[in-house]
Structure formats: structure tokens, C-alpha cells
Amino acid sequence: MLEVSLVHYIILSALLFCIGLCCVMVSRNLLRIFMGIELMLNAVNINLAAFAYFCDGMVLGGQVFILFVMAISVCEMAIGLVIVVALSRHSENIDVNSQDVLEDKQ
Amino acid sequence: MKILSLSALILLPLISSGMLFFPFFNTIRKIRCFAQISASIHFLYMLLFLAMYNPFSPESALSEVYKWIEPLGISFSLSLDGISLICAVLTSFVFLMAIVASKHHIKEHQRFYYSMVFLLQAAVLGVFFAHDMFLFFMFWELELIPMYFLISIWGSGKKEASAMKFLLYTFGGSIFMLMSILGLYYCHYVQTGMLTMDMDYIGLYNDYPEIVKYLAFVGFFVAFGVKLPVVPLHSWLPSAHVDAPAPVSMMLAGVLLKLGGYGLIRVNLFFFPDIFVKFAFAVFVLGIINIVYASCVAFVQSDIKRQVAYSSISHMGIFLVGLGALNAVGMCGAVFQMVSHGLISSGLFMVIGMIYLRTHTRDISLLGGLGKVLPGIYYLTLVVVFASIGIPLLSGFPGEMMSFFGAFISENELVRHFVFAGMAGVILTPVYMLNMVRGVFGGVLFEKFKKIERMHVHEAVVMISIVFLIVLTGVYPGSIMKIFAPMIENFFSI
Amino acid sequence: MSFFVDYIWLVPLFSLIAFLIISTGNMFVLHRNSRISAYLTLSSSFLGLVFGVLAFIYCYISENIWFERTFSWISVDALSFDFGFMVDNLSATMVVMVCFISLLVQIFSMGYMKEDPEYSKFFGYLALFNFAMCFLVLSPNLFQAYIFWEMVGLCSYLLIGFWYWKNSASKAAYKAFIVNRVGDFGFLLGMVAFGIFTFNYWINSDLSFLSFSDLNMAVFYLKDVFGGYSVVIIGLLFLLASCAKSAQFPLYVWLPDAMEAPTPVSALIHAATMVVAGVFLLARMYPLFEVSSLLMGAVVVIGIFTALLCGVFALFERDLKRVLAYSTCSQLGYMFFAIGLGAYSAGIFHMFTHSFAKALLFLAAGCVVFALGGRQDIFEMGGLRKRMPVVAYSFLAGVISLSGLFFSGFYSKECIFQAVFESGNIWLSVLFCAIGILTAFYLFRVYFLVFEGEENRSVGEVRSIPFSMIFSVCTLVVVSVLFGFLLGGHFGIKSFDELIYYSFKEGYRPSFLLVILSVCLSLSGVIGAYLLSKAGKRVYLFENLRFVVDWFYENVVSRVFCIVSKLFDFVDRYIVYGVVYICGLLVNLFSLLLRSLSSKNIGVYVVLSMGWLILLFIVLYGFKELFV
Amino acid sequence: MGILNFLIFAFLFCLILISALGVVAARSISVSLVCMMVCFLGVSGVFFSLGADFAGASQIILYGVSVAILMSFAIMLVSKKDDRVLGVSFSWRSLIGGICCFGILMILFFTMSDGGRGLPAVLKKSIHPEAFSSTFKTASELFSSYILPFEVLSLILLIILLGAAVIAGKERR
């Protein structure tokens, strides 16, 4: 009973993913939303690693993919933060609820 | 290359609509002359077809098949039969008249106007000659575009709204048609494994599942019902006519209503004869409603153009009665009614155009006593109005007579009993027609209409040729009958 | 001589050619009121008259000929409609009568319409009418009869509405056409029903479809195949048609209004020829009517009722031409009544005598109106005999003949009288006598009011009457006097009922007692009229009686029709359009909802996308069998 | 031996989840930043336990350190201006958001349990005892079958670099 099998890892990544999602949806601060996105990406990585380890045998395709995911997340984070900075310079606050430029006024 | 080629017939208007944009035609006069010349050439060429056509020889179908979209089995195939030839001749005649008549009505963008007219003519001829369902549908959609521009640019009153209404109505209808075509196409492919859009294969192959046949029939009927205004779907016609300029409404009434009728015959009747038998009474009742409803509504209208629009709805009601009779006499009556209605309604709209040009109003209460000032127009209108009422020796009578005789002979019990309701149209039509004539030409003359100018030469030419054709088909209907009658007879003999 | 019978179809053709020349000429070359059109129409009807008379003589000599030639007009597989002509005694005499009267009317109108601006159009219409009437009379089958039945209705519309700039004239023309159209509806329905019920009879009989020649065979076939009931229906439909055309009870309202037309037109159409077409149809369809007694009864009832009603209306009429119009209605009632009783040749005989006499009266009235410059109110006229004796005496001759005192009217009324008494129905004979008195009464009342009595100061100057009008009036006097006498069976000339009879020759046996009775009845009418005219000019007793029926038509019928069409218009404008409008509204509403949904801030977008994701999963999972 | 693995896994499991919750629930942004760093370290621990040592190392370097620093710079740049602490927003939106994320969790568990019929066999495989170095393996994989994505990745990084410099550079006034 006590050995750690694939399903535990998947449960872990699912939980982590949902927490990240919840962070994105709930928080008002744009930066916190970015943190949530990072959590979700890491959850995906855990999944990849787990499947690579359990099912993939010696090919380890999953681990290669983890690197790609990391790279992309870093790029996304960089651009995101720059936008946040520009946004904050533009409208003095980064509260998500107040950014309603797109709202249809009538 | 044999001289009679259908594709040449369709290409001619396209070429002339293209050529209008050459810089050579810089003055309005040149544009108009070119348009009139090419329209008359087209009409003469069409008469050549008429002369050389003998219904009994197989090669008279002049069918031409060119590969188009090979994998889907779609081919650019054209063919000819009695009914499509008659409709095509009527089309080119009405277009020639409309082009000649549009001298004073169209004041700006002549070049664009005439090219749109020729595009419309090509599309309509395409529909009549199409032998491939896809081609049929394509030309059906193509003729909407020029008509939309014609109504919305040169019209009057709230022209954009009615042009849009016309477009949406016909589009709505043609969606059903598309569904039916694709349904047939798919079923045919599933059952025979051969992917083709040709009318002979799709249409005449008749062991589709029962439900598919019903749905396809209803789909086609709705699409053609919108075009041939069947009462519940007709409300686009009056607004389109009221806001279109006179030559455009001549074309609209003279030709576009025939598309609906031609479609009903060619697709609904020839493809699904067994289902049409079941729906015969429904078609008949719709015809009756058309006649009675449109006549009553026409009586109350205050705008004469709207009255004539409703009158063309009631005329096409007689077409439906003839079609519902489902026998050779009824069918001949229906096709004859289609041709005569084409002539009559283009004549009527021509007259209304002339009156509107001179008095700038179409309201019956404001008009009156024009008979003394415009005697020429008055007498020609009388002839056309009497033709539309159905006076013998004029073109309205044979169509009506044969349709009612056909309805009486039809083996469908119910049709025989209700034919008298259709005949009520005989009383109702003169009621509003003569009321209109009395309102416009009779009675005391308003002083502001004292000094309107007499009939111009080109208007006289148009009206007299229309009246001549009306009298010719009325006195000797055999001239037209011998073209489409044999085809109808051998269809009903099987 | 048989050449004329063979080429009798030229008679209508002449007038058609005349009409075409005038109408095309009118369009381009001919000046509006040139004389050419008059001479053209005159020559065409004169040639027609010559042909007609010669053909009539041929028929008169040979024993009951039946000459027919047709060619197929429309032929669709089983059904073929034929055109052509058919000559027998009835049609030959009718052609002669029509051409003769139209010739005289055309001569009359040369003078009457001299200063009318649209002179040539008038003669064109007269030629067209002559063409349509002759072909109607010569038509070999029911289908062609229907065609020219409508053409005649069309010509009456054109001629009544000749002065279309007068509102009342165009309204009267419109009314006349609609009422005639109702009759045409009956004719069409009856013909179609008759044609189709006896369809396979016509197929195996070699004759053309619905031809008159063996109509009774077709009727017998119809009777035994479909039973008497269908015969009655078809008969009633044809009765409706003839009622409309001959202005009988339900559909007579258009005739008095038709007096808006110029007087020669009323003389030609609304007295002598067109209104007689209804009786002609009855004569042609006699085999159909003869079969069922119910139909004959209906014809009698309608005839008697119209005669009585219109007689009373004529009594209280102010307008000279309207009196004559009502008297036409009542005389036509006579003919219906006679044919209804089975007195086929008596009815036809009365038709001829009435045509001549009534045409005479109308032309004379035309002269009076022309002389007084268009005034038609008889109470404003008086003592005109001294001013225009010729017209006065010819009017008197016409009145005497029509009321059955001496001239040709006496003979035809005598035959009908005899038929009435033979039928034995007491009530009918009493009514018939009453009508006899009534006709004499109102005719002589008009005569005394207009021509006798002292000079009426409001008459004013009287224009001289041109010779052409006088000439035609006199010839008519001569004919209406001699016609009855000639065909009364004296001097070896065949009497009328030998000439035109249906199945048996009724033979004209003048019983002395009946002659005395009818003459003294008419005399009492005359004396009554004389006393009335002496007593006082104004009789307001039932002045507005005739307005009741007009009011009924004017308000009830047209009002109902307007309401129905307003209802339809309402349906069209709001319900049919409403449905479309609602669809538009729905689409609008839906798009508004969607737009508000997708335009908040970023947070909403995330939540929305997640929500749709869950929804998508649920839906896909739900229908997963479809995709597997 | 297996019990040790289980213990490590349980420790990492709790560490990651608690720190993730910390990120969400923390009032101030810097506290949530620290929790996020702890969570990343936990994740790298999981990678090591799964034998993906290269991934674990790069995780530590990449997320643990650089992203945290990046985030702190952003926080410093942004938070000076407004004083409001932008915590969790208790509006309609967040409520529905919470429900949605719970719904997605249920969906994930639902699919894991293969439509509620219990765990498919493949998920039950337990841990392999023998550890092996995967770096060599991933490197050879990276440069043999995944060479194209690798090159594309480098290109993307270059573009990101330029883009960030351009956006951050302009002083819009």
C-alpha cells in the first residue's frame, strides 16, 4: 500500500493545477495572477515527469518536454511582467477589476 | 462551331456588361446606345433559337457539358427544353424593353446600371439553362447581387431597407434549396456511389428514402415559393416594387417571378412527380389563397405600384392553380399564364413608370383625369389592364382558361370541388384593376397636371411592342403553345 | 346565294378591320375627329348588313339549314377549343337586326357626336362592338360564345365610359363592367362544369367541343349520367349570366347608370343588341333549360318580378333616358317570362320587335336631348310636339308599338298573351295583364309629359336637329311599324314562328277575345297616363323607391368587400410583416445579451473561458456515443 | 526502502500544496512570492524523486531563483505607487471562478478514475527502485529527435528578449 505510484503524482499535479487556477481567477493583483500561472505550469511539469518515469520506459521523452515547458514559461513570465510594469505606469494600479477599457460602455 | 450555343447566349450579356467599363464609353448617350444595341442583338439571337427549335428532335436540347469541379462531380452543363426556351425568350424581351425604357428613369451612374442589368440577365438565363444542380444554385444566388444594387442605388423611398428585405427573403429561401440539393447529392452518393450534381442523375433517380424526398420537396418548394410569391412569403415583393425604379421593377416582375415558377416545374414536378401528386391539393389551395388574398389587398392599396405588385401575386396564384391541377391542360395553362404575366406586368410597370416620371406621385387620391392629357398612354394601359383581367383575345385569357379547365379535370377530388373559389379571381381582378384605371385616368383633371408632356417616342415603341405581343399571344395562343405543349404532354403521358 | 352563308364570317371581319384601321390611325395619322373613321365604320356595317340580309334570305328560303365551319384554336392533348361560325335561322336574323340597328345608330351618331373631340374613337368603339356582337351571334359553340360575351361586356365598358373625364361616367362604366363580370363568372363556371361533366360525350362525338349543334344530346347524356340535380346547377349558372347581361332582377342595377353613355350608345347597346344577348343565350341553351321544370319556373319568376319591379321604378323616374332604361329591363323581363313559359318563338319575336321599338325611342330621346342641349329631366320639358313634330310622332309610334297597341309590338305581345293563357296559371295571367297596363301607363306618361301639354317656360331655345338623326329615326319608325305586320303570317310570308321555332311550330292563331282584352288593357293604361299628366306634373309618391336597391348595392355589397379587403390588408401589413419583424427583434435581443457578456474585464474573460470549458466537457461527454 | 520513498513523497506533497495555498491566500504580495519559491523547490524535489535530476536542477535554477528575483523586481517596481493591498476579491466573479476551478478538479479526478470505474492498470505501476542518471539520456534525446523545437525555442527566447526591452524601454508620458 505504501509505495508511491503514478496515481499519487497525478493527484498532486491535479491539486496543484487547480490551486493555480483558483489563484488566477480569484486574485485581483495582476502579479498574483502570474504566480498562479506559474503554479499551473509546474503542475503540468510534474505530470510530464511522472509519466516519463512510469510509462515512458527508457525513452524519457517527457523530461525533454519539461525543459521546453520551462523555457516557454520563462519567456511568458518575462513578457508578462514587462506588460505589468508598463500597465502600472500607464494606469497607476494593476488591479484587474479596474482595467475595463474594453468594456462596452452603453 | 455550331451557331446555336447556350453558353454563348449566357456569355453575351456578361461580355457586354464587362465592355461597358471601357473608357471608350464616356458619354451617357454612348453607354445607352451600346446597351440598347447589345440587348437587341441578344434578343435577335434568342429569336434565332426560337425559330430553329423543334420540340420533337432529340438534339434540340443543345446540351453542352464542360468539366468544372471534377472530384465533386460538378460540371458546367447547360441544356434547353420547351419551357426554359419560352422563359428565356420572355427574359431577353423584357430586358430589352426595360433597357430601352430606362432612358429617363436612370439619371446617374448609367454605366454601372447597365452593367448590373446585363449581369442580371446573364444570371437569369443561366438559371433557365442550367442542367447541373450546383450551377442552378449558383446562378440563382448570382442574380441576387445585381438586383440588390439595382434596387438600393437607383430606387426611391426607403430603398436600402426594401433591397435588404428582398435579399434576406430570397437568401432565406435559397438556404432551404441548398439543404435539399446537398441532401439529394449525399443520398445519391450513398446509394449509388457516384458523386454527381447532374440533374438527370440526381433528379430522375427516384428511389431516395421517403423522408428525404419529402424534405427535399418542401425545401425546394419554400425556396421557389419565396421567389414566386406564395402568400405567406410574399411581403418582400410589394416593398421591393414600390422602391425600385420602373425599369427594374419591370425586370423584377417580368422575369424574376418566372424563376420561381420555372423552378417549381423543373425541380419540384419533374424530380418528385409522386410527391407532387400528394401535395397537389396543397399547391392548389395556396394558389386560391394567392388569388383571393392578393386581389383583396390590392383593392385597398393607395399606391398604384403596390397595387400592381399585388396583382402580379394574384396572377401567379393562377399559375399555382394550373400547376396543382397536375394534368397537361393545367400545366399548359400555368406556363402560358407565366408568359402572359411576364408581358402584362412589365407593361403595367412601364405605364406606372411613365406616370411617375410626369407626375412624381403614385398615390391614387392625388392622381386623376390623366386620360385627357395622356391619351396615348391611356389607350395602351386599357389594353394591358384588360389583358390582365383576362378578356379573351388578349394574352391573359388562355392561361386562365386552361388552368381552370385543367383544375376541373384533375383526378384529385378536392381540387375539382374548390375550383370555383379560384374562379372568384375572375370577378376580383377587374374590381381593383379598373378601380386603379378609373382613379388614375378617369375623373376630373387636377390643374397641376395640365401641362405634362406627351408620350416620348421610345416609350411608345416599348408599349406598342408589349401590346403587340399581348394581342398576338391572345389571338393565336398556338404560336407559343406548340413550343412547350409537346414537352408537357409527353411528361404527363408517362 | 349560299356564297353569303359560306362567307358570313366576313360581316364581323369588316367591322374588325374598320376598328383596327381607326385605332392604329388614331394613334399616329388620323386627326382626332376626322370624318374618315365615321365613313369607315358606316361602310363596314352597311356591307355587313348586305351580307346579313342575303344570308337571311338564303336561310328564309331553304328549310332550316345548319351551316357550320370551325378551326381549332387551342388544342392540348384531350381538350381542343374551336373557333368559327355557325348559321341558322336565329343567328341569321340576329345578324341582320344587329347590323341594321348599328348602321342606323352610326348614321344617327354622325350628327349627334359632331362636335365631340374624340369623334373617331367613338366610331372605333362602335365598330369593335359590332364585331363582337356579330361573332357572339354567329358563335358555333359555347366557348366562343363566352369569348365574345366578354368582348361585348368590354365594349359596353368602353362606350359607357366614353366621356371618362366625367366622374359619374367612369363610375357607371366601372359598375357596369363589374356586374357583367359577375355574369361572366357564372357563364365561365357553368360552361366549364357543363364541358367537363359531358367530357367523354364530346370526345366520342365528332363535333367540336361544346358545340350548339347537338346540345340536347349532350344534355340528355348529362341528365342520365349525373342526374337532374347537376342540370339545375348548370342551368342556374347560365341564368345568372343572362341575368347580368340582360339586366334582370338581381343584377339590373348597372343599366340605369349606363345612361351616362352618349345616347346613340344607349340606343345601340343598352336597348337593342347587347342586353338582348342574355335572351340569345337562353335561346341557345334552351335544350338545357327545357329539361327541368324548376329552371323554367326560375326563369319565369325572374322575368315577371323584374318586369313588375322595373315597371314601377320607370313610373317614378325623372330622367328621360332612365325611364327608357327601366322599360328595357321590364321588356326583357317579358322575354325571359315568355321563354320561361316555353313560348320560345314568341319570346324571340318580342325580342326583335322590342329592339326596333326601343332603339327608335332612344334615338328620339337622343334628338330631344340634343335639341335641348343635354337636359334630360322630363319635368322640365313639355309641349315639344309643336317644336319638333317629326321626333314627337316617331316617339309616339315607338310608344304605341312597345305598349302593344297597334304596330309590331302588338303581334309579339299577342303571341306571349296566348302562351300565358295556354299555360293556364291564373296568377301569371293576372300579373301579365297588370304589367301590360303598367308598360302602357309609364310609356304614355313620358310621351304626354315631354311632347303634349302647354309650353314649359324653362325649355328655352331648341337647336335644330340635323338630317342624319331625322333620317335614322324615320327609317326605324318604318321598320318597327311594318316588321310585326309582315311576319304576322299574312300574305303568304312565313310567320315568325315558322321561321324560328324550337321543336314544334306554335303557330300564330289570333283568338279574337285575347286581342280585344290586350288592346283595351293598353288603352286603359293610356287613359290613366293622360289623366295623370293632366292632373299635375309632380308625382313624389315613391320618388326614392329605386334608391333602396341602389343603396343596398352601394353600401352593403361594396362596404362588405372593403371591410374584407381591409381585413386582409391588416393581416398582410401586421401579421405577415409582424412575424418577420419579431424574428428581427429576437436576433437583436440575443446579440445584445451576448455583447454584454463579453465586454467586462480580464477576470471575467478567464472565468468565462473556464465555464465554457466545463460546459464543453459535459456536452462532449454527454454525446460521446455520437462521436465514437 | 519503499517506506522512505513514501515518506519523502508525502513530505513533498504537503510542502507543495501548503505553499501553493499560501500563494493564493497570502495578504501581501511578497509573502505569496516566498510561498511560491518554496513551492517551486518542492516541485524540484519531486523531479529528483522521479529520477529526472537534470529537470530538478534546472527547476531549482530557473524557477526557484530567477523567477523569484524577476517577480520581486516587478513587485518593487509596481507596488510603490498604490497602497491598497490587492488581496482576494470577494466579488461574484471570484465565487464563480472558485466553483469553476472546483468543477475542473472534479473533471480531472473523473477522467483519472476512467469514468468512475476505478483506476486503470497503467496508473497503478509503482516506483522503480533502480535510479539512473537521466541527464545523458535527455541530452541525447534533445539533440536527436527534438532538435527542431530546440532551435525554435532559441529563436523565441531571442524575440522575447528584444520585445521585453522595447516595451519596458519607452517612457510614455
CATH number at residue D55: 1.20.120.1200
Q: State whether D112 and A35 contact (CB < 8 Å).
A: no
Q: Do C74 and B402 touch (CB under 8 A)?
A: yes
Domain borders along chain C are 544-597, 600-628
Task: Give mean pLDDT, residues C264-282.
Answer: 82
**Percent of all residues in chain C with a pLDDT value above 70, rounded to a whole number:** 89
Which of C533 and C49 is assigned the larger pLDDT? C49
Q: Which of B288-292, C23-27, C219-223 has the lowest mean pLDDT?
A: C23-27
Question: Does the pLDDT at position C329 exceed 90?
Answer: no
Residue D82 sits at the chain A interface (C-beta within 8 Å): yes
Looking at chain D, which residue has its C-alpha nearest residue A40? D20
Find residues 602-621 of chain C whose CB sits inside 8 Å of chain D: 603-604, 606-607, 610-611, 613-614, 617
Signed CA dihedral, C596, C599, C600, C602: sign only: positive
Name the strand (E) or helix (H) holding C86: strand C79-87
pLDDT exceeds cutoff 60 at D173: no
- Cα–Cα distance measured from residue D26 to residue C145, given in angstroms and rounded to the nearest whole number: 104
Task: Among A47-56, B349-358, C553-562, name the one with the lowest average pLDDT.
Answer: C553-562
Residue D12 falls inside a structural domain? yes
Total domains present in chain D: 3
* pLDDT bucket at B38, cuts 50 / 70 / 90: very high
Whole-angstrom Cα distance, residue B464 to residue C408? 49
From chain C residues 552-611, the ones with a CB under 8 A of any chain B CB are 561-562, 564-566, 568-569, 572, 576-577, 580
pLDDT tier for residue B221 given thresholds of 50, 70 and 90: very high
Q: What is the mean pLDDT of residues C454-472?
A: 74
Alpha-carbon distance values, C590 to B110, C222, C581, C616 (Å) = 42, 65, 14, 21
- Predicted confidence (pLDDT) per residue in A92-102, tens digit: 777 777 777 77
Q: How confident is the model at residue B121 (pLDDT cuts 50, 70, 90)?
A: very high
The residue ranking higher by pLDDT, C483 or B279, is B279
- Is the CB of C374 inside 8 Å of chain D's CB atoms? no
Confidence of residue A19 (pLDDT cuts 50, 70, 90): very high
Buried b (16+ CB within 10 A) or exposed e, B119-131: bbbbbbbbbbbbb
Please provide the average confidence, as pLDDT, over all residues in chain C: 80
Query: What is d(CA C52, CA C223) in angstroms, rounded to the nearest whole number?
Result: 37
pLDDT over 80 (residue C75): no
pLDDT per residue over B163-211, tens digit each? 888 898 888 889 999 999 998 888 888 888 888 888 877 777 767 888 8
- Describe chain A by its helix, strand, coil percentages, rounded to 5: 75, 5, 20
**Total residue count of chain A as it appears in this document:** 106
User: What band does C479 get if pLDDT is binned at 50, 70 and 90?
Assistant: confident
In this prediction, residues C550-568 reach a mean pLDDT of 78
pLDDT tens digits, residue range C94-105?
888 888 888 888
Q: What percent of chain C is predicted at pLDDT more than 90?
A: 0
Model confidence at B296: pLDDT above 80: yes
Whether A25 and C606 lie within 8 Å, measured CB to CB: yes
Distance CA(C171)–CA(C186), nearest Å, equals: 23
C353 pLDDT higher than 80: yes
Q: Are residues D110 and D170 in the same domain?
A: no
What is residue B446's predicted lDDT score, i.e. its pLDDT?
77
pLDDT-based confidence at residue C69 (cuts at 50, 70, 90): confident
Length of chain C: 628
Rounded to 5 degrees, φ, ψ at C141 are: -135, 170
Asked if residue D14 and residue D68 are part of one domain, the reply reads yes
* Residue position matching grid coordinates 351580307: C51
Q: Does one domain contain both D25 and D76? A: yes
* Four-residue CA torsion sign, D97, D102, D105, D107: negative
Average of pLDDT values for B305-310? 89
> Does the pLDDT of residue A16 top 90, yes or no?
yes
D103 in contact with C, Cβ within 8 Å? yes
Would residue D128 count as lying in a domain? no
Taking an 8 Å cut-off on Cβ atoms, the answer to whether D100 and C604 are in contact is no
For residue A102, give how far its alpha carbon lies from the nearest alpha carbon of chain D (Å).
17
pLDDT of B9 > 90? The answer is no
Predicted pLDDT at A13:
92
Contacts of C566 in chain B (CB under 8 A): 300
The confidence band for B7, taking pLDDT boundaries of 50, 70 and 90, is: confident
CB contact under 8 A, D104 and C606: no
Say if residue D130's pLDDT is above 60. no
pLDDT computed for residue C540 by the predictor: 55
Query: Is there a single domain that holds both residue D79 and residue D90?
Result: no
How far is Cα B171 from Cα B428, in angstroms, rounded to an integer? 32
In a domain, D110, yes or no: yes
Q: Which residues of B159-192 are buried (b: 16+ CB within 10 A; e: fewer)?
A: beebbebbbebbebbbebbbbbbbbbbebbeeee
Give the global pTM: 0.81
Distances, alpha carbon D125 to alpha carbons A1, A54, B56, C114, in Å: 12, 7, 83, 122
Residue B387: CB partners within 8 Å, gap ≥ 6? B340, B343, B344, B347, B394, B395, B396, B470, B474
**What number is the ipTM of this complex?**
0.73
Give me chain A's average pLDDT, please.
Answer: 83
Task: Kindly state whether residues D46 and D96 are assigned to the same domain.
Answer: no
The arithmetic mean of pLDDT across residues C351-364, rounded, is 87
Average pLDDT score, chain B: 86
pLDDT range class, residue C374, cuts 50, 70, 90? confident
Spell out which residues of chain A touch residue C596, defining contact as CB-CB under 8 Å: 104
Q: Which of C243, C246, C478, C487 is nearest to C349 (CA)?
A: C487
SS3 B207: coil
Asked, for residue D147, whether it belongs to a domain, the answer is yes
Contacts of C135 (CB under 8 A, 6+ apart): C12, C85, C144, C148, C151
Is residue D84 less than 8 Å (CB to CB) from chain A? yes
Read off the pLDDT band of C257 (50, 70, 90).
Answer: confident
pLDDT-based confidence at B39, cuts 50/70/90?
very high
What are A20-67's pLDDT values in tens digits?
998 888 888 888 888 899 999 999 999 888 888 887 666 677 788 888
Domains and CATH numbers, chain A: 7-91 (1.10.287.3510)
Q: What is the pLDDT of residue A104?
A: 67
pLDDT for position C496: 66
Q: pLDDT grade, residue C60 (50/70/90)? A: confident
Instruction: Give the pLDDT confidence score for residue D118 in this predicted structure.
Output: 64
**Domain enclosing residue D168, as ranges:** 134-173
DSSP annotation of B366 reads T
| pLDDT at residue C390 tops 80 | yes
- Residue identified by cell 297597334 is C406
D95 and D160 assigned to the same domain:
no
Is residue C284 predicted with pLDDT exceeding 70? yes
The pLDDT assigned to A65 comes to: 86
| Residue A104 near chain C (CB below 8 Å) | yes
**Chain B residue numbers touching C147 (CB-CB < 8 A):** 392-393, 397
- What pLDDT is attached to residue D18? 93
Residue C439's alpha-carbon distances to C257, C432, D11, in angstroms, are 21, 11, 130
Question: Are D79 and D146 members of one domain?
Answer: no
Banded model confidence at residue C538, pLDDT cuts 50, 70, 90: low
